[in-house]
Amino acid sequence: MENNAQRDFFTPFLSDDSLLGPFLLLARLLTSVTYVYYILTWFFGRPTMRAYMEPPPVPAGGLNYLFLSIQIVAVVLIVLGYKTRFAALLLAVFTVITYLLAGHGLKDFGIAGGLFAMFAYGPGPLSLDARQERANPAGTGNSYGGFFAPILSNNTVMAPLILLARIFVAAIFLTFGQNKFFHTARMQAYMVVHNPTFSGMDQVLTLLIYPAMWLQLIGGLLVVVGYKTRHALLALAGFTIIAGNMFHHQFYIPAEKVQFFKDYSLTGALLFMFAYGAGSLSLEALLNRTKPAREKLEVESPQT
């Protein structure tokens, strides 16, 4: 893929494989959390918990075991970092399909966005794919090339895919942010009811809605246009993990338990996208491409 990411504050960290490898491994593990929960619940969960999953891990009927097998195989491959691009694409398509079948669960779109990014960029240095590549330096140059190699080298295809991944992620925060903006009182009441830990501190919770709202709206917009993308993704990742632990920790409510794990997977998706930036269809890439021309013009301009 064409790399148009601008150098920024995070570049030294992201250029060091000894740091980037564990970071991307953590992102892969977090992204897989929801699917691991689905799998374990399918085998060991109570029927009521399985019934309340949102969306259900597998549809009713004869496809149950097929869909369950897809999740198991994809999660194992992603965690190991082996055939990662195949597994990430498979799980992303599965996630989008289950979203469309269920008609709810917008966070699934964001998780799918992270999986599309994982397909585009590979698992990172700390993976079996990377180890295989180091053992075969004369290979394709991709962490997992194979069948996908022609697609991965085609920026005309991959650039829109990364843009789509950004839109998937941003859609969640823009939707939740506008809900807070237009339905502030209702969302404040929700925050109070869903966080008994702050009992007696309702005013604190109701005030928190304003920074949360602007972070979601501004961060989501920055991710869509691809400007200061890493800053926005990192801020949204921090917000997501905090919000999940504050407002979705009532595990006796099946739907809240599902949302809790989805927030962890969404955080992993955001961190994975943070590592690689906005891609070539972004405002950052446009500014990066026009920067040499602007600098040349400044040098050639007569001094006054």
Q: Is residue 180 part of a domain?
A: yes
- When pLDDT is averaged across residues 252-278 and rounded to a whole number, the result is 92
pTM of the model: 0.88
Residue 62, domain member (yes or no): yes
Q: Residue 113: count other Cβ atoms within 10 Å of its Cβ.
A: 30
> Does position 52 have pLDDT exceeding 90, yes or no?
no
Provide the pLDDT for residue 206. 77
- Indicate the Cα dihedral angle 239, 241, 246, 250, nearest 10°: 150
Band (pLDDT 50/70/90 cuts) for residue 294 is: low
- Domain for residue 301, yes or no? no
Domain for residue 272, yes or no? yes
In angstroms, what CA-CA distances link 126 with 26, 28, 74, 123, 187?
Answer: 10, 11, 18, 8, 41
pLDDT at 174 exceeding the cut of 50: yes
Give domain status of residue 2, yes or no. no
H/E element holding 51? helix 47-51
Is 259 contained in some domain? Answer: yes
pLDDT band at 303 (very low <50, low <70, confident <90, very high): low
Domain containing 116 equals 11-286
> What per-residue confidence (pLDDT) applies to 61?
57
pLDDT at 199 over 70: no
| Tally of domains within the chain | 1
Token code pair at residue 234: 């990192």
- Provide mean pLDDT across the span 48-54: 56
Q: What is the pLDDT of residues 136-168, one digit of tens each?
A: 765 544 445 567 888 888 888 999 999 999 999
143 three-state secondary structure:
coil
Q: What share of the chain is helix, strand, coil (3-state, %, to 5)?
A: 75, 0, 25
| 5 domain-assigned | no
Residue-level pLDDT at 50: 59
Answer yes or no: is pLDDT of 72 > 70: yes
Which residues are CB-contacts of 172 (< 8 A; sequence separation ≥ 6)? 106, 107, 109, 110, 220, 266
b/e burial code for range 31-61 (CB count within 10 A of at least 16 → b): bbbbbbbbbebbeebeeebeebbbbbbbeee
Instruction: Report if residue 78 sits inside a domain.
Output: yes
